[in-house]
Amino acid sequence: MQVRVRFAPSPTGLLHIGNAHTALFNWLFARQHGGRVILRAEDTDVQRSQLGYEKDICEDLRWLGLDWDEGLELGGEFGPYRQSLRQAFYEEALKKLRQGGYVYPCYCSVEELEAERQANLAQGKPPRYSGRCRNLSEREIAAFEAQGRKPAWRFRVPEGQIAFRDLLRGEFAFQGAELGDFLVVRPTGVPTYNFAVVVDDIQMRISHVIRADEHLSNTPRQVLLYRALDAQTPQFAHVAMLLGPDRQKLSKRHGAVSVAEYRAQGYLPEALLNYLALLGWTPKGQEMLSKEELIEQFDLTHVGFSPAVFDQEKLRWLNGQYLRRADDARLTALAAPYLVSTGLLPEDEVAWPSEAWLQKLVGLLKHNIITLSQLPLWAQPFLSEPKYEDKKIVKILQEADSQQVFKAFSAALAGTSQLSSQKAGDMLHSLPEQLALGTGKVFRPLRAALTGQGKGPELAEIVALLGPEKCLERVEKFRR
């Protein structure tokens, strides 16, 4: 059987980092086994589902590098790939369940069900449906119909054991009596999650269901539906959900939780993808792995089933490592929107500095940043006039020794039209001996005058990038 996996997000919001984690494990498993990835939308929540969210999810998946073979925006032979367009499939499956006697009509109102639920909880019992409509007579059904009640349809859960095997966790067995008869179709005709997902998986020939372990309790119900519909049950693998540092389910209180937020903050897709792969799975050897290396090494059976903690600091560290290794031309293209949005570059590219100069700037500053959104802070003194606002910087500029340094520096640059970083370095390192001052006493005031900052790239690189004319102009401001 060909490996066929699916990722089925609900387009009710942005792509959550936990869902991206699940999508990645599906993708790695399929790509490793030469299988196919299906992307579909579970959009039966009409009130909250939006086409805009669906497009955002597709865009974020592509940004991460997770492509798919069938489904949204691509089509395929098993479409449509939105649940809202698949009502005919659900009606046909319900008809089959009715013919087999697997379901029965339930006329309980929302109020009645809630009252029953509260009564069970008050008695310390699980809030399980009592089965009051399980054996309605024709007369009772007619009476409910006469009242204008529309029935929901419930699955008639058999007694005995419902067993299945999880690829990560081994054998599971649930007792039918523990489940209670569950809804498959609401009075409105809209299918429930458990029913729709099974019908979709059958029709789309899904071979492996890899999902978060919060769905584990749904699995026995779905197994019953597969059997009732005379379909082969896929292989299940329930991956542990992601937790925050407080070991609670990852949520907004832990910081950014959507892929879009990390993208906006200037994380590189390869860094985020790499980090997500490390949550719940440990590769052999190094942790920094390309997509190709992840595909080669990934082993679903070695994914742990203990919850993984999403560590923002580890992600930041990893992103910093990827930034340092990134190609300067690519990084400059990615960084440009941040520089434009902060006014450091005009919107019209024609007015930008040369491409080579910008790439050199980004190449220097990438060693000082963790995310691309931090770049404007470091780039500001190179693309506009420095801000001498820090009291420590002002104090350094006013020190008595600084005047000697500025004078000697200006003299060394006089008559120079251009300077390489090598020549700038030679010139700078001759100044401490010439002035009988420590290196710090020389370099600190120069860095302060040239950038308004206390740290950053090597001073020789700063001098070479700004050029002699700009360096002289800035130093002269502080000569008395």
SS (H, E, C) the chain: CCCEEEECCCCCCCCEHHHHHHHHHHHHHHHHCCCEEEECECCCCCCCCCHHHHHHHHHHHHHHCCCCCEECCCECCCCCCEHHHCHHHHHHHHHHHHHCCCEEEECCCHHHHHHHHHHHHHCCCCCCCCCCCCCCCHHHHHHHHHCCCCCEEEECCCCCEEEEEECCCEEEEEEHHHHCCCEEECCCCCECHHHHHHHHHHHCCCCEEEEEHHHHHHHHHHHHHHHHCCCCCCEEEEECCEECCCCCECCHHHCCCEHHHHHHCCCCHHHHHHHHHHCCCCCCCCCCCCHHHHHHHCCHHHCCCCCEECCHHHHHHHHHHHHHHCCHHHHHHHHHHHHHHCCCCCCCHHHCCCHHHHHHHHHHHCCCCCCHHHHHHHHHHHHCCCCCCCHHHHHHHHCHHHHHHHHHHHHHHCCCCCCCHHHHHHHHHHHHHHHCCCHHHHHHHHHHHHHCCCCCCCHHHHHHHHCHHHHHHHHHCCCC
Active site residue 252: yes
364-385 in b/e form (b: 16+ CB < 10 A) is bbbebbbbbbbbbebbbbbbee
- Tell me the CA distances in angstroms from 13 to 213, 310, 419, one per residue in order: 21, 20, 53
Query: The tokens of 400 are what?
Result: 């008595």
Catalytic residue (one of 55, 125, 249, 252)? 252
Catalytic residue numbers, as ranges: 252
